[in-house]
Amino acid sequence: MTASPYRLLLCDLRSDELVDVLPVHGISLDDFIGKTGRLTGTVPIANTAIADRARRALLPGRTAVWVERGRDIWWGGIIWTLSLASDARGRLGAQIQAGGWESYLYRRLIYDTQVATQMDQFDIVRQLIDYTADTRGGDIGITYDTGLSEVIRDRTYLRYDLHSVGDLIDDLAAIDRGFEWRIASFRDTDGRRIKRLQLGSPIIRNGAADIVLDHPGPILTYTWPTDATRKANAWQSRGASTNQNQAAESYPMTSPLLVSAEDIKAGWPRLDGYSDYSTVQRQATLDAHAQADYDTALAPVTIPEITVLLGGEITPALLGATVRVRIRDLWHPTTLDRRFRVVGMSINPPERGRPETAQLYLEVP
């Protein structure tokens, strides 16, 4: 079996104290902007000593895992499931599944009403992060900076609704003049492992110079989807019921109907769409959600996928960076030459006869 270039640093989730370092086989990991990353892999249990170490270190819900490649941190998250498996030859392995640090925020609920009045939307996010950290046992070491988006919001999150912190951040981000967020994993200049909240308004950007990727060349394969099933040029959103009398018939609050006359004039048929926000009670908030959803549906984002060899400039630090993609083939007799932002990465480890590759998910910057 080919030796894996990766190893797992297994730490206590709350203190980040190192518990053990174990090898991993069959690792698969991905990381995204706007979506929680995921890791799967198998820790081989070769002998009794390794079994004892793995029992102590692999504790779902309590163990933080940092993926190290060389001396660099390539991924970080929390082990949520462990499955012990034996094959026909009696070889034993501990199969683990982990979610990025963001996954923790979807397991934390608002039990105390939170109010934000005329507050920058980034400060609202940080207030929610502080809420999780200030509860006993709730601090897992998420850090952040103090930058602002210069977009002011009013928000009230009632304890009765029992929203998760992750869902609230997603809802706040997915609004007109919203933002992107993720929790990055890396080592700082002093060698410390860092979980850093990244916020970008309207998007997260990293890197300065474009990386050029050619096909034929470093781009091994690509997929270029075109999907009209999500397109809509007429949109309305529904909110909470406006009727306070439970004995009377109830109707939801609605946003204005948004229709693109330009799209229809250009020859598109009328395509209708809607979204529901059953807990939104403010008209302005509902209208902002509707505008954001309408803008997204009017021109659905195409997410091309390209597969490239891993290494060199192709590392997880590429998330949010811009690449220049050049493709020449039968479909593109005149070379396609466009810039894209990397919004996701899925790493495929080396196997017998196959090099280590990364699948990059792209969108127009």
Do residue 160 and residue 133 come from a single domain? yes
Most confident of 141-150, 233-242, 278-287: 141-150
Confidence of residue 19 (pLDDT cuts 50, 70, 90): very high
Q: Is the pLDDT of residue 359 over 70?
A: yes
Q: Is the pLDDT of residue 2 over 60?
A: no
Where among 281, 298, 315 does a domain terminate? 298
Identify whether the C-beta of residue 151 lies closer than 8 Å to the C-beta of residue 177: yes
The pLDDT > 70 percentage for the chain reads 97
The number of domains in the chain is: 4
Residue 206 lies in a domain: no
Do residue 222 and residue 316 come from a single domain? yes
Do residue 28 and residue 115 come from a single domain? no
Where among 277, 298, 319 does a domain terminate? 298
Q: What is the reported pLDDT for 242?
A: 74
Q: And the tokens for 246?
A: 């439970």
Residue 349 lies in a domain: yes
DSSP secondary structure letter of residue 251:
-
Mean pLDDT of 64-84: 95
Residue 353 lies in a domain: yes
Which helix (H) or strand (E) element contains residue 210? none
Angle subtended at Cα 308 by Cα 304 and Cα 313, rounded to the nearest 5 degrees: 110
Residue 93 lies in a domain: yes
Which helix (H) or strand (E) element contains residue 145? none
Q: How many residues does the chain have?
A: 365
Do residue 118 and residue 161 come from a single domain? yes
Q: And the tokens for 274?
A: 């809607």
Which helix (H) or strand (E) element contains residue 170? helix 165-173
* 300-309 pLDDT per residue, tens: 777 899 999 9
Q: And the tokens for 171?
A: 């809802």
Residue 193 lies in a domain: yes
Q: Record the pTM.
A: 0.88
Cβ-count burial 99-128 (b if 16+ within 10 Å, e if not): bbbbbbbeebebeeebebeeebbbbbbbeb
Do residue 38 and residue 67 come from a single domain? yes
* 183-213 pLDDT per residue, tens: 999 999 999 999 999 999 999 998 767 899 9
Confidence of residue 142 (pLDDT cuts 50, 70, 90): very high
**Which structural domain range is residue 167 located in?**
105-200
Residue 109 lies in a domain: yes
Coil, strand, or helix at residue 105? helix
Confidence of residue 245 (pLDDT cuts 50, 70, 90): low
d(CA 155, CA 161): 14
Residue 205 lies in a domain: no
